[in-house]
Amino acid sequence: MIITKDLTKKFVSYKKEEGMKGAFNSFFKREAVEKFAVDHFDLNIEQGEIIGLLGPNGAGKTTLMKMLTGIIVPSSGTVEIAGHSPWKREKDFRKKIALVMGQKSQLWWDIPSIDSFKLLQKYYEIPDARYNEKINMMGELLNVKDLFHVHVRKLSLGERMKLELMASLLHDPQVLFLDEPTIGLDLVAQENIRQFLKDYHAQHNTTIVLTSHYMADVQALCPHLVLISGGKKSYDGSLEKFENILGHKKSVYFTFNQCIDKTDDFWKTQDVLFSENCDEVELKLDDHEIREVSAAILNKFPVVDFHTEKMPIEKVMKKIMENPEILSGV
Provide the binding-site residues for another protein, judged by CB under 8 A. Answer: 11, 62, 66, 69-73, 87, 89, 91-92, 94-95, 97-99, 101-104, 106, 108, 110-112, 115-116, 118-119, 122-125, 151, 179-180
- Please state the closest distance from residue 2 (CB atom) to another protein, in A: 16
Residue 110: φ, ψ to 5°: -100, 15
CB of 24 or CB of 123, closer to another protein: 123
Rounded CA-CA distance 35/40 in Å is 13
Nearer to another protein among residue 97 and residue 285 (C-beta): 97
On whether the CB atoms of residues 166 and 142 are closer than 8 A, the answer is yes
Task: Report the Cα–Cα distance between both ends of the chain, in Å, rounded.
Answer: 26
Distance set, CA 234 to CA 41, 106, 213, 224, 225 (Å): 10, 32, 17, 14, 10
Q: How far apart are CA 211 and CA 58, in angstroms?
A: 12
Distance CA 109, CA 112 (A): 8
Query: Do residues 207 and 288 lie in contact, with contact meaning Cβ atoms separated by under 8 Å?
Result: no
Smallest distance from the beta carbon of 123 to another protein, in angstroms?
Answer: 5
CB of 221 to another protein, least distance (A): 20
Smallest separation, CB 322 to another protein (Å): 24
Nearer to another protein, 30 or 300 (CB): 30
Q: Compare residues 103 and 299 and give the one whose CB is closer to another protein.
A: 103
- Give 226 or 252: the residue with its C-beta nearer to another protein: 226
**Among the residues of 6-156, which ranges form H helices?**
19-28, 61-68, 91-96, 113-123, 128-142
Q: How far is the CB of 214 from another protein (least distance, A)?
A: 15
Name 285's bridge partners.
Answer: 250
The three-state secondary structure class of 192 is: helix
Nearest distance from C-beta of residue 183 to another protein, angstroms = 9
Distances (CA, A) of 275 to 17, 184, 201, 254, 282: 47, 32, 43, 10, 8
Nearer to another protein, 124 or 274 (CB): 124
Measured from the CB of residue 10, what is the shortest distance to another protein in angstroms?
10
Q: Which is nearer to another protein, 119 or 141 (CB)?
A: 119
DSSP state of 82: T
